[in-house]
Structure 1
Amino acid sequence: MVSHDLLKRFSAGFQRFQKTWYCPENNIYEDLRAGQNPYAMVIACSDSRVDPVILLDATPGDLFVVRNVANLVPPYEPDGHYHGVSAALEYAVRYLRIGHIMVMGHARCGGFTSLLEADHQEGEFLNIWMSLACRAKAEVERTLPEASPEERQRACEMWGVRFSLDNLMGYPWIREAVDEGRLLLHGLYFDMSSGELLYFDAGRRAFLPLVEACAALPRPGRSTL
């Protein structure tokens, strides 16, 4: 039997939220209720262990966040169907005029586990969704045929971030904003085992510790994928 204790826990948590963000000394929603102006969009995984707001120590209003299984960005397909991620991208870029889009992958992602073990999985939606990352799986099979399951998983997760960045550039209004220097694209990878946040360095085509990568970041301009 499922208990209602969780609701009580969340109620207490919400009261702490109110005391933090609605107190007279720090009522951040006095400004936010007039509208949002986030400085970045984050496409992250739905995994409960990987909350970008917590990982980046953000506050309300900082981030426009989309979360899905395996932090995937679908290709640009204006076909009249339902596209939640694409709709969020359009809103962020064309209406909020966001300056940064971050794709945040992570270690031990269940979505990529299901992709690598697709022959043994059943379900109505997950396999179809994860087929968006089939290029990542193919790259791992091509380059790491003899690697351990752990190495293959990690590589697949990282390739997933890179191919999502590629897909972002397929949206004409994203490419236009990048070309004009109004938008930067970033790839991140959270290694929960080490507690390290890695950044995709396009020049080296490698994921580096964020602190190290920041020291070598180019000045604002076109992102190179």
Structure 2
Amino acid sequence: MKHAMPLPSYLVKRYNGWKATTYAENSVWYQRLADEGQRPRAMIISCCDSRVHVTSIFGADQGEFFIHRNIANLVPPCKPDGDIHGTSAAIEYAVTALHVTNLVVLGHSGCGGVKGCHDMCSGKAPELEEKSSFVGRWMDILRPGFERVSQLEQETDRVRALEKEAVLVSLENLMSFPFVKDAVDQQKLSLHGLWHDIGKGGLEYYNKDTGEFASV
């Protein structure tokens, strides 16, 4: 493939530093992971945003989490068809092959994808309405959430509420997958909704009893 280039030098330096320190100090553990395979207890669906560092937030080591990242941490409805479904495939593998016992959807503050959805649904981002926009069509998943917060007067309030709706819509859509519903009904899988405040380091969870997000 003629367009593939060598790694930038700063990435090479960082790799060499990791190999000489973190890997060297834990080489037995890495070899065990390689030999025995992965047994993560949880799958986490988070945003692609570079500021959301899932393993750091939870102090996790290699092998603990099965992580899937996409724009705005969204889960689409179950829809088997001829299209390619990366997120759905990751969920299927985590639940049916890895048998994770917890599935977490992690939203966050200042999400660009959520803001794009808000602007698109408000008529402020016509470029996202184009059928050719991958981001726009992906953010269509969140339109039901926008309808639930559209009555809020202040844009900042709508966007913040929509960030949390991205978590709730995803949790709702997860239950449209038969293998997820079966695992939940059999109490083999628990679903969790979280929202992370990047600037303040806060973490909130969705409380099904109150219908609100509360501090962890």
Q: Is residue 20 of structure 2 the alignment partner of residue 16 of structure 1?
A: no
Counterpart residue number, 2:213: 207
Counterpart of 1:97 in structure 2: which amino acid? Answer: H
Counterpart residue number, 1:80: 82
Root-mean-square deviation over aligned CA pairs: 1.7
Counterpart residue number, 1:110: 112
Matches within 5 A, 1:53-68: 53-68=55-70
Q: Which residue among 157, 165, 169 is the counterpart of 1:159?
A: 165
Matches within 5 A, 1:84-99: 84-99=86-101
CA distance in 1, matches of 2:113, 2:26: 42
Counterpart of 2:158 in structure 1: which amino acid? Answer: R
CA distance in 2, matches of 1:178, 1:149: 36
SS at match of 1:159: helix
SS at match of 2:56: helix
Native 8 Å contact 1:21 1:29 kept in 2: no
Once the two structures are TM-superposed, the CA of residue 193 in structure 1 deviates from its matched residue by 2.7
Unaligned segments of structure 2, at least 5 residues: none
Matches within 5 A, 1:115-130: 115-118=117-120, 119-121=123-125, 122-123=127-128, 124-130=133-139
Please say which of residues 21-30 and 109-118 is displaced more in the overlay.
21-30
SS at match of 1:120: coil
User: Structure 1's 141 and 25: CA in aligned 2 closer, same or farther, altered over 3 A?
Assistant: closer
Counterpart of 1:39 in structure 2: which amino acid? Answer: R
Once the two structures are TM-superposed, the CA of residue 149 in structure 1 deviates from its matched residue by 1.6
CA distance in 1, matches of 2:11, 2:135: 29
Counterpart of 2:167 in structure 1: which amino acid? Answer: V
Native 8 Å contact 1:21 1:28 kept in 2: no
The alignment's TM-score, normalised by the length of structure 1, stands at 0.85
Residues 68-93 of structure 1, C-alpha deviation per residue, up to 9 Å, x if partnerless? 11000000001132100000001000
Once the two structures are TM-superposed, the CA of residue 19 in structure 1 deviates from its matched residue by 3.3
Once the two structures are TM-superposed, the CA of residue 22 in structure 1 deviates from its matched residue by 2.5
CA distance in 2, matches of 1:69, 1:78: 21
CA distance in 1, matches of 2:156, 2:176: 31
Counterpart residue number, 2:174: 168
CA distance in 2, matches of 1:74, 1:172: 14
Counterpart residue number, 2:8: 7
Counterpart residue number, 1:197: 203
CA distance in 2, matches of 1:26, 1:202: 42
Greater length-normalized contact order (CA 8 Å, ≥ 6 residues apart):
2
Q: Which residue among 149, 162, 165 is the counterpart of 1:140?
A: 149
How many percent identity over aligned positions? 38
SS at match of 1:22: helix
Once the two structures are TM-superposed, the CA of residue 26 in structure 1 deviates from its matched residue by 5.2
**How many residues are treated as equivalent by the alignment?**
203
Q: Is residue 191 of structure 2 the alignment partner of residue 185 of structure 1?
A: yes
User: Structure 1's 141 and 29: CA in aligned 2 closer, same or farther, altered over 3 A?
Assistant: same
CA distance in 2, matches of 1:155, 1:109: 11
Counterpart of 1:38 in structure 2: which amino acid? Answer: P
